[in-house]
A and B are shown apart, each in its own frame.
Chain A
Amino acid sequence: MAGMIEQPHAILRARLPGRVRGGPGPSQRRLGAFVRRHKLAPYLLLTPALIGIALVLLWPLVQVIIFSFQNYSLMQITGAAPTQWIGLANFTSTFRDSEFWLSLRNTVMLAVVVVPATLIVGTVVGLLLNRLGKKMAAFVSTAALMAWATPPISAAVLFYWLVNPDGGVVDWALSKLPHWLVGSNNWAQYNWTTTGAFQAYAVIAVLVVWQAFPFIAVSVLAGLKTIPGELVEAARVDGASSWRVFWRITYPLLKPIFLVLLLLSVIWDFNIFGQSYIITGFPGNQNEYNLSLYLYDKAFASLPPSYGLGGAIALIFALILLVITVGYVRTSVRQGALT
């Protein structure tokens, strides 16, 4: 056993660049021995990452939890008034606020529409890329990559311009279409962003699908490449339709990928902030808030800003996501991600 391990060392040692052999000084050697004796190496390597994660991600989370049970605001920061524990008051006033429920509804409705839409469009494009010729596939995937690479804020401003009542090309196109197809609205002057939550979120939904489907398509395509071609061919020879091949072969084999993509999509779509900030013209229309905008408004835009109330909303928001995240982590662990 020892000999078997010894030999590759000798070979590798011979191949290593000379500079690696430079010996350490005595103090360095003593430190090295200490680290080795106490098996400290992994902890030393982890330290910078742990400090960063703890200070920027974990400690703020603890603080937000603390705030949510306090009446923390500007007065408390300047010391003009004492910080008090107020129990669940922040939570009860949040649950009593009809605006909270409206923003929760907007958030959930968007996810309910966008998650399936993204998955379906992404999967269809993934399947398409798998069957297209080389040149056409390259063209389609390049187009998709460009949509995906567009920064969300840039994309949001761009879509705002596309549906603008003054010169937006979508409104112009809709006004040219026959009435029996698109209804008899005055499309040329139609204001998508301020008419109502439904209209604004329709724009956001298209925007999000446009940006998110390429990732799904590429992931599905990567999965499709792992399916042995004979499997699909055999099914085809037996006369199975494409629809049947997908549901009986492709889908069962790619189920783990679909599950992860589903969970990631739900999390991403719950987290949307920049796009809705731009499209709804924050802080213009409160009935168009999603949870993120509602939280931001309560914490920073309202007067006086209430960090306690913001903290309570943040906690509710984080708890909703935690439930989804637990699903994601369990799926990952079950798929052997920890090994």
Chain B
Amino acid sequence: MMTPSTHIAPSPAAVAVAGRRGAEGVAGAGRARATRRARWAGLNAFGLVIALLTLFPLFWMISTAFKPSPEIYSLTPSLVPAHPTLGNFSAVVSGQVSGIGSVWLFFRNSLAVTLATVLVASLVSLLASVAVARYRFRLRASFLVMLLIVQMIPAQALIIALFLDFERLNLLQNLLGLIIVYAAQALPVSIWMLRNFVATIPKELEEAAAIDGATGFRIFWRILFPLVAPGLVATSIFAFITAYNEFIVALTFLGQAHSDYTLPIYVTYFFGRGGAQWGPIMAASTMYTVPVIIFFLFVRRRLVGGLTAGAVKG
């Protein structure tokens, strides 16, 4: 900081100049601090706006789900329900509004399909990732490139053939057909992600067990499996999203088999029936959405690591 040196300066003009400079110096430091604080406040305000804008649609969904009908269609919508009600939820649970069953039925269907997909996809992709990470064999590079390409084939392009094939196999209109397709769809990315995790496990562990006479299966189950567990969590989350959100295959396969509907197909059916049942529809959407959001909030740490490992590095 500059200090005014008035004691040497003889001429009033010089004093005036020096004084002005000094005042500027003091004010400059203050201004720098003020700018920093303004910038800090600006950044936080910006962050707040982004967060609130992002949250608003979800907030509105939940708010609508708790509103009685007159409030939902009121000419001046209120942010928070004035007379909160569970009526929309009980209508969805009893199944009278959708006409095809209680939301719990579809919740159970989605859960069964999702868990089975996660289980099958994790196991199969773990085996394959060991092959890719541990062995050098002919066609290894081709296999990896094939995975990258296959992962990009849109389900829309395959849906015609899948529909006709699964019809012949009698696997339409039931959950098993969906599980098979979802597990296979999750494989390319899961193998790609797990490969990195398997590669980090020291080979000596397996070799030592092999010398001790452990079989391949034992080595796999007792040594490899516990050590790749974090990787399996990441791929399980991926398979979970794939199965829980999947739309086009379920829409095509399930057709009119209402009792086998998964949650997205149920919500779509409900929505397509018309009649402006926005309260119950938002209640159904809330019951579809909130569990998965809570799940993701719990696993977020692993999620971020796993996703960036899979998508950005790989």
Q: Is A162 within 8 A of B60, CB to CB?
A: yes
Known A-B contacts A167-B77, A296-B159; the reply to A143 vs B55 at CB < 8 A is: yes
Contact segment of B28-36, B147-155, B227-235: B147-155
**CB closest chain-B residue, reference A35:** B216
Scoring A20, A136, A328 by chain B CB atoms within 10 A of each residue's CB, the highest score goes to A20
User: Is B107 part of the binding interface, using a Cβ–Cβ cutoff of 8 Å?
Assistant: no
Q: Is B72 within 8 A of A218, CB to CB?
A: no
Interface of A: prevailing SS: helix
Q: Which of B52, B143, B156, B191 contacts A314 (CB 8 A)?
A: B156
User: Is A236 part of the binding interface, using a Cβ–Cβ cutoff of 8 Å?
Assistant: no
Within 8 A of B (CB), among A4-33: 5, 8-9, 12-13, 16-17, 19-24, 28, 32
Q: Which of A63, A152, A161 contacts B161 (CB 8 A)?
A: A63
Contact segment of B9-17, B18-26, B88-96, B218-226: B218-226
Task: Return chain A residues, CB-CB under 8 Å to B263.
Answer: 151
Q: Which of A46, A147, A264, A292 contacts B131 (CB 8 A)?
A: A46
Cβ proximity bits B240-277 to A, threshold 8 Å, 1 near / 0 not: 00001101100110000000000110011001000010
Q: Is A125 within 8 A of B50, CB to CB?
A: yes
Known A-B contacts A9-B208, A20-B218; the reply to A157 vs B285 at CB < 8 A is: yes
Q: Is B293 within 8 A of A12, CB to CB?
A: no
User: Is A98 part of the binding interface, using a Cβ–Cβ cutoff of 8 Å?
Assistant: no
A57 vs B145: C-alpha distance in the bound complex, in angstroms? 15
Within 8 A of A (CB), among B64-85: 64, 72-77
**CB closest chain-A residue, reference B121:** A52
Q: Is B289 within 8 A of A154, CB to CB?
A: yes
Closest chain-A Cβ to B153's Cβ sits at a distance in Å of 6
User: Is B100 part of the binding interface, using a Cβ–Cβ cutoff of 8 Å?
Assistant: no
Within 8 A of B (CB), among A303-319: 307, 310-311, 314-315, 317-318
A63 vs B166: C-alpha distance in the bound complex, in angstroms? 13
Closest chain-B Cβ to A205's Cβ sits at a distance in Å of 14
Interface of B: prevailing SS: helix
Task: Return chain B residues, CB-CB under 8 Å to A137.
Answer: 47
Task: Return chain A residues, CB-CB under 8 Å to B146.
Answer: 53
A174 vs B144: C-alpha distance in the bound complex, in angstroms? 51
Q: Which of B124, B278, B314 contacts A48 (CB 8 A)?
A: B124
Q: Which of A61, A321, A329 contacts B158 (CB 8 A)?
A: A61
Within 8 A of B (CB), among A116-153: 125, 128, 131-133, 136-137, 139-140, 142-153
Q: Is A143 within 8 A of B282, CB to CB?
A: no
A158 vs B88: C-alpha distance in the bound complex, in angstroms? 15
A147 vs B289: C-alpha distance in the bound complex, in angstroms? 10
Chain A residues proximal to chain B, CB less than 8 Å: 5, 8-9, 12-13, 16-17, 19-24, 28, 32, 35, 39, 41-43, 45-46, 48-50, 52-53, 55-61, 63-64, 67, 77, 125, 128, 131-133, 136-137, 139-140, 142-155, 157-162, 164, 166-167, 169, 172, 210, 214-215, 218-219, 222-223, 257, 260-261, 264, 267, 270-271, 273-274, 277-278, 291-292, 295-296, 299-300, 307, 310-311, 314-315, 317-318, 321-322, 324-325, 328-329, 332-333, 337-338
Chain B residues proximal to chain A, CB less than 8 Å: 43-44, 46-48, 50-52, 54-55, 57-58, 60-61, 64, 72-77, 124-125, 127-128, 130-132, 134-135, 137, 140-141, 143-150, 152-165, 180-181, 183-185, 187-188, 191, 204-205, 207-209, 211-216, 218-219, 222-223, 244-245, 247-248, 251-252, 263-264, 267-268, 271, 276, 278, 281-282, 285, 288-289, 292-293, 295-297, 300, 303-304, 307-308, 311-314
With A139-B48, A273-B247 already in contact, 20 other A-B pairs whose C-beta atoms are closer than 8 Å: A22-B214, A42-B140, A45-B127, A46-B127, A48-B128, A61-B161, A67-B160, A128-B43, A128-B50, A136-B44, A136-B47, A143-B54, A145-B297, A147-B54, A150-B292, A153-B245, A210-B54, A295-B157, A324-B152, A337-B148
